Chains A and B, each alone.
Chain A
Amino acid sequence: MALRAIASRKTLAALGSGLRAQARLATTAAAAAASRGLVTFSLPDLPYDYGALEPAVSAEIMQLHHQKHHQSYVTNYNKALEQLEDAVARDDAPAVVKLQSAIKFNGGGHINHSIFWKNLAPIHEGGGEPPKGSLGWAIDADFGSWEAFVQKMNAEGAALQGSGWVWLGLDKEFKKLVVETTANQDPLVTKGANLVPLIGIDVWEHAYYLQYKNAKPDYLKNIWKVIDWKYASEVYEKECR
């Protein structure tokens, strides 16, 4: 897998030396693992600037969320996978089992956040526009109305205790849309093998606290202004073909 370019337009704008060191460390570790033929994962770039989702989500949050939290999941996922490979190679079953939670936390964190960045876009690029086409109709059919769907997502997100995610998912067996929550970084598939994530909203406190503090419902109300449906529609149409 190609090594991640550190000096992209987005990251240059905010780089401190600590950040450079961290990215270098992650890249060095990834390089070492890659040289052993191990697949490594890397932090995807955002297709928009950190400040592009303001005022719904602040630039400060976007930068920390992407460069610190998501990066940390990627780094630790790669580490866990490397340790897993070693444990399998030396036939150490207890070690293999012990690594499962680290893989779930960090792999899940990488999966979930990668989807999340695709679910967001600046308003001038379509963020906030409800979906049209087949996904739009499916939302009306399965939830009654767009408003009812948003209400359900927000209610479930607000009621989630601790850290986790609220999802719009597609049950690809029954071709039905569902709203589900997952705890911590559990991916949606842990709620059902047939569930495909379309839209995920991060309700870990790090996703909103600096801006909204304890007012999680305000965060949920406002994030819809930058939720983008291109990715979700693509996935939906592919699964429902």
Chain B
Amino acid sequence: MATATVAATAPLSNGFLLRRGPNEGAKSARGLQWTKNQRQSASSRRFGAAVITAKFDLKPPPYPLNALEPHMSANTLSFHWGKHHRAYVDNLNKQIVGTELEAKSLEDIVIQTYNNGDLLPPFNNAAQIWNHDFFWESMKPGGGGKPSGELLKLIERDFGSFEKLCEELRAAAATQFGSGWAWLAFNPRPSDGKELLVVKSPNAVNPLVLGYIPLLTIDVWEHAYYLDYQNRRPDYISIFMEKLVSWDAVGAKLEVAKAQAA
């Protein structure tokens, strides 16, 4: 699971830090308000947007950008990670400067700004950082194949078979209309005894806000596949399942999830 990394920052006594509240003038007045710290002296504003404390870093995927070729091109990774994911990080850092969110973990920011569905402005950036960190971890070079051990046992218990799980995941990914994600998730409090479930979510929403623990995700925003597959989302999903998915990572996350739930 992705964790926020706190970048080393200059001491706050540095008068050159520009402190701005998030989304000034925008519709952030409704719902949960977070406190704004005092602004620095007026002289700090002269320095523009160049000096902002970076709370979150852009985490690189656990493999080189060309490692998923030919199934997911280096070109795609260079835009998807290098531009889209990077922009979410940069924009969230700007949004949380001078607010109480600055002291929180990424996961806490996601849950808090989800605000029970009445999304606050930082939600999109925070959740998309979390989702993309998780997405890179859901894949590996030479991925695909089948899960084994405890994970396979649970899959067979809750879905009937591995093939049935794949069918459900593919269907969820194919039918998430517009932008979004498809997930395999762990439910720590299942009312029907089934701990594993497939979930699809729109835009930046993820299963954390539903109280589930994500195990695997596939990004079905068009930017995730358009350069390599154009409109052919089903082909992208097939290749993801056959060649990219890291069942090792899923198994590791399942162990963590079970330990947390115990």
Contact = CB atoms under 8 A, between A and B. Distances in A.
A210 B225 CA distance: 11
Contact of B230 (A64, A185, A204): A64
Interface residues of A, number: 20
A210 B231 contact: no
B230 A210 contact: yes
A185 B226 CA distance: 18
Interface string B204-222: 1000000000000000011
B230 A214 contact: no
Contact of B79 (A69, A183, A213): A213
Given A161-B204, A162-B178, A210 B227 contact: yes
Contacts of B230: 64, 68, 206, 210
Contacts, number: 54
Nearest to A67: B231
Interface in A161-205: 161-164, 183-185, 204-205
Contacts of B231: 64, 68-69, 72, 206
A214 B83 contact: yes
A214 B84 contact: yes
Nearest to B177: A105
A205 B221 contact: yes
A204 B231 CA distance: 12
Interface string B48-87: 0000000000000000000000000000000100011001
B124 interface: yes
A137 interface: no
B23 to A, nearest CB: 11
B179 interface: yes
A48 interface: no
B258 interface: no
A209 interface: yes
B190 interface: no
Contacts of A204: 178, 222
A69 B227 CA distance: 15
A210 B226 contact: yes
B203 interface: yes
Contact of B178 (A183, A209, A213, A214): A183
Nearest to A72: B231
B223 interface: yes
Nearest to B119: A161
Given A64-B230, A163-B178, A184-B177, A205 B223 contact: yes
A213 B83 CA distance: 9
A72 B232 CA distance: 11
B202 interface: yes
A17 B40 CA distance: 65
B124 A161 contact: yes
B177 A209 contact: no
Interface string A97-123: 000010001000000000000000000
A35 B29 CA distance: 56
Contact of A162 (B84, B87, B202): B202
Given A72-B231, A161-B204, A162-B203, A214 B223 contact: yes
Nearest to A60: B230
A105 B83 CA distance: 29
Interface in B88-117: none
A11 B225 CA distance: 25
A105 B222 CA distance: 16
Contacts of B202: 162
Given A72-B231, A161-B204, A214-B87, A205 B226 contact: yes
Nearest to A214: B83
B217 to A, nearest CB: 16
B179 A162 contact: yes
B227 A206 contact: no
B42 to A, nearest CB: 28
A49 to B, nearest CB: 20
Given A68-B230, A162-B202, A205-B222, 5 more contacts: A105-B177, A183-B178, A205-B179, A205-B221, A213-B83
14 contacts: A68-B230, A161-B124, A162-B178, A162-B179, A162-B180, A185-B177, A185-B178, A205-B221, A206-B222, A206-B231, A209-B223, A209-B226, A213-B227, A214-B83
Interface of A: 64, 68-69, 72, 101, 105, 161-164, 183-185, 204-206, 209-210, 213-214
